[in-house]
């Protein structure tokens, strides 16, 4: 019945329920670079797995882990014909060996630089913590390559309404003008429909244009 699914039946309008495709520890394991995909990336413990599960509408798609840095794998999920969601390993965890950190960099840089089907990246930021140096480095790095970014300010429920709006303003100022950001909460589901709309739009158009040259610095 998959083909008869209506738009309303799916949490992301043009996207069907995700099916796990594969885990990749090296670029050779990435699935064929065709169609379009959206990747989730964020500092460890920033709520990335929780956000991905909620947005995809699947309870345990990405494993919510209390053991940061364990997996240095990129997980691919199919959400339609040549449409994928991709879970990148978290970064910035304390107490990991340099070797683990280097492996993260190598694997994720290989993915983010070579992946032609990458239509956009969702970056999770804990709203209380805001933009750390590593997040800012990732932002600069993605923007240099013209890769579209949507920032989710996660765990908004941990702040009061006024405080969360203040934090949003502060983080927006750190990110710079015309950046896409959303206050997000897994608890209240704040921001979930909007995040789904981003992903739906990014996965819909064809072909991918990561046009760094179109960007005004």
Contacts to ligand GDP by CB under 6 A = 42, 44-50, 64-65, 90, 124, 154-155, 157-158, 185-187
Quote the least distance from Cβ 36 to ligand GDP, whole Å.
23
Quote the least distance from Cβ 77 to ligand GDP, whole Å.
15
Cα end-to-end span (Å), the chain:
47
Cα 140 from Cα 160, distance rounded (Å): 30
**What six digits make up the tokens of 160?**
């009061």
Strand 36-42, strand 19-24: pairing: unpaired
Of 148 and 155, which CB lies nearer to ligand GDP in the complex structure?
155
**What six digits make up the tokens of 8?**
């309303």
Of 46 and 72, which CB lies nearer to ligand GDP in the complex structure?
46
Quote the least distance from Cβ 133 to ligand GDP, whole Å.
17
Of 142 and 186, which CB lies nearer to ligand GDP in the complex structure?
186
Quote the least distance from Cβ 185 to ligand GDP, whole Å.
4
Of 80 and 90, which CB lies nearer to ligand GDP in the complex structure?
90
Of 171 and 208, which CB lies nearer to ligand GDP in the complex structure?
171
190-194 contacts: CB < 8 A, separation 24 or more?
A: 190/156, 190/157, 191/152, 191/156, 192/54, 192/55
What's the Cα-to-Cα distance from 24 to each of 83, 110, 112, rounded to whole Å?
A: 17, 12, 14
Contacts of 150 (CB under 8 A, 6+ apart): 120, 121, 122, 123, 180, 181, 182, 195, 198
Quote the least distance from Cβ 38 to ligand GDP, whole Å.
16
Of 112 and 190, which CB lies nearer to ligand GDP in the complex structure?
190
Nearest CA among 70, 50, 47 for reference residue 60: 50
Quote the least distance from Cβ 152 to ligand GDP, whole Å.
9
């Amino acid at each position: 019945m998959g083909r008869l699914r209506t738009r309303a039946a799916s949490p992301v309008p043009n996207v069907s329920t995700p099916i796990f495709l594969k885990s990749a520890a090296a670029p050779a394991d990435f699935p064929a670079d065709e169609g379009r995909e959206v990747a989730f990336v964020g500092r460890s413990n920033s709520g990335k797995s929780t956000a991905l599960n909620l947005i995809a509408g699947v309870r345990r798609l990405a494993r919510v882990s209390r053991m940061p840095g364990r997996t240095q794998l990129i997980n691919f999920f199919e959400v339609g014909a040549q449409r994928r969601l991709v879970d990148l390993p978290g970064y910035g965890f304390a107490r990991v060996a340099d070797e683990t950190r280097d492996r993260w960099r190598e694997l994720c840089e290989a993915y983010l630089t070579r992946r032609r089907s990458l239509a956009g990246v969702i970056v999770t930021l804990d709203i209380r913590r805001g933009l750390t140096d590593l997040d800012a480095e990732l932002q600069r790095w993605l923007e240099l390559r013209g890769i579209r970014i949507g920032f989710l300010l996660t765990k908004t429920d941990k702040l009061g309404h006024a405080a969360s709006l203040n934090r949003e303003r502060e983080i927006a100022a750190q990110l710079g003008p015309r950046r896409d950001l959303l206050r997000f909460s897994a608890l209240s589901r704040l921001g979930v429909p909007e995040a789904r709309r981003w992903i739906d739009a990014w996965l819909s158009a064809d072909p991918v244009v990561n046009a760094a040259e179109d960007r005004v610095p």
